[in-house]
Structure 1
Amino acid sequence: MTDTFMDALVKRRSQYALGKNLPVSADDVEKLIRKAVRLAPSSFNSQSSRALVLFGEHSDKFWKLTTEKLREIVPADAFASTEAKMKAFAAGAGTVLFFEDQDTVKALQEKYPLYADNFPAFSEQSGGMAQFAVWTALASVGLGASLQHYNPVIDEAVAAAWDIPSNWKLRAQMPFGSSEKELGPKSFIDDEVRIRVFR
């Protein structure tokens, strides 16, 4: 494990104050996301994770769509804070939508029936690793991001807006952009509570 990798882990935080000032080009961000998704591990090397990368107007469109879908279910007297949150996400330079390919999951269930019940969970774990890989990669070049979950409320609208294959299941959304606010210190619970070591 290199210091560079550990430094990237330290930088990876939930940043909600996002801006559109990318420290690197959009092309470089795209390449970084592609590489992170490609290199993220997956069970049985299934490579089940899929990503939709939205920049600029497409990202704005996504958060407007999400706002309108939430308006249908959030009580009117509580909607102002929800709308403010959507505007904060839209203030970023882009959004990554993460999906898991259900055809890949089904194919593995058929090929390995002994583990059939486990493959949906394996897929979720693979998706989590892809999300973590992308988030850490973005942090490594100075981009802020956070991970959101507005699925399944937005699933059908997203599929229609960007012609998403029916076998792609939306699992998470990651708005990203320039970090417009310094983050405070992060608190940690005692390692002894979380980690046990026997030698």
Structure 2
Amino acid sequence: MALNFKEALQNRRTYYTISNKSLISDKEIEDIVKFAVTHVPSSFNSQSTRVVLLLGENHKKIWEITKETLRKIVPAEAFKSTEDKIDGSFAAGYGTVLYFEDQSVVKGLQDAFPAYSDNFPVWSNHTSAMHQFAIWTMLEEAGFGASLQHYNPLIDEEVVKTWNLPSTWKLVAQMPFGVPTQGPGEKSFQPIDERVKVFK
């Protein structure tokens, strides 16, 4: 049964134990991504977010790139745990969503509106965050578990080269997803009255 928005929001959690199974078709996953990119708002309607959906061998490839990049910088005695984390969690999933922000769009806005120049990179990150949240929540609604990873900028150059992406696309985050194989960890909440103030 489909979740309503509040239920999807409440159930959206970080899942590190995921499988390479899917409860929906690849076309439906693609539709989720395209729906978010079409309808999620952006400052000045900049539409600066770029998203790459990796499935099948391409999903595995991103995590091979990540491992081989980290192998060069992580001490040999510590690399096994890094490799196990990537293989046992992120690479074990069904797919990965890569989030980028097109810096040519940001630069164009800075040139067009110099009074707001310093704000556009910040607003660009806000735009990306909204896309991440929207796609993550819709993946949750479809039965997937996901997490948000940040191996950028270490893997940026290889990612752009491997998938022949524009050099102006700046990698912001990676979201591996798959059907959860166990529940998420416990989540605690700080008192809501300390986080929200209402004045009437």
TM range (shorter): over 0.9
Aligned to 1:80: 80
Q: Distance in 2 between matches of 1:114 and 1:138?
A: 38
Supply the distance in 2 between the matched residues of 1:170 and 1:20 (Cα, whole angstroms).
24
Match of 2:139 in 1: 138
Cα offset, 1:123, TM superposition: 0.2
What is the letter of the counterpart of residue 95 of structure 1? T
Pair 1:121-2:157 in alignment: no
Query: Which residue of structure 2 lines up, in the alignment, with residue 54 of structure 1?
Result: 54
- RMSD across aligned positions (CA): 1.1
Aligned-pair distance for 1:81?
1.4
* Aligned 8 A contact 1:37 1:133 in 2: no
Q: Aligned partners of 2:164 and 2:9: how far apart in 1? A: 34
C-alpha displacement of 1:75: 1.3
Which consecutive residues of structure 2, in runs of 5 or more, have no partner in the other structure?
Answer: none
- SS of the residue corresponding to residue 149 of structure 2 reads coil
Residue 160 in 1 paired to residue 175 in 2? no
Matched position secondary structure for 2:176: strand
Instruction: Provide the secondary structure at the position in 2 that maps to 1:31.
Output: helix
Task: Give the AA of the match of 2:79.
Answer: F
CA shift for structure 1 position 37 = 2.0
* Alignment partner, residue 37 of structure 1: 37
- Runs ≥4 in structure 1, deviation > 6 angstroms? none
Deviation at 1:69, TM superposition (A): 0.1
TM-score w.r.t. length of structure 2: 0.95
Q: Which residue of 2 aligns with 1:91?
A: 92
Instruction: Decide whether the 8 Å contact of 2:93 with 2:177 is kept in 1.
Output: yes
What is the letter of the counterpart of residue 26 of structure 1?
D
Q: Percent identity?
A: 51
What secondary structure does 1:164 align onto?
A: coil
Structure 1 match to 2:181: 180
- Matched position secondary structure for 1:147: coil
Q: Does 1:169 align with 2:190?
A: no
Say how many residue pairs are matched: 197
The CA deviation at 1:56 is 1.0
Quote the residue 1:103 is aligned against: 104
- Does the CA contact (< 8 Å) of 2:16 and 2:184 recur in 1? no
Q: Deviations over 1:107-156 (max 9, x none)?
A: 11111111011000000010000111110010011111000000000000
Question: Bigger shift: 130-139 or 33-42?
Answer: 33-42
Within-5 A mapping of 1:5-20: 5-20=5-20
SS of aligned partner of 2:117: helix
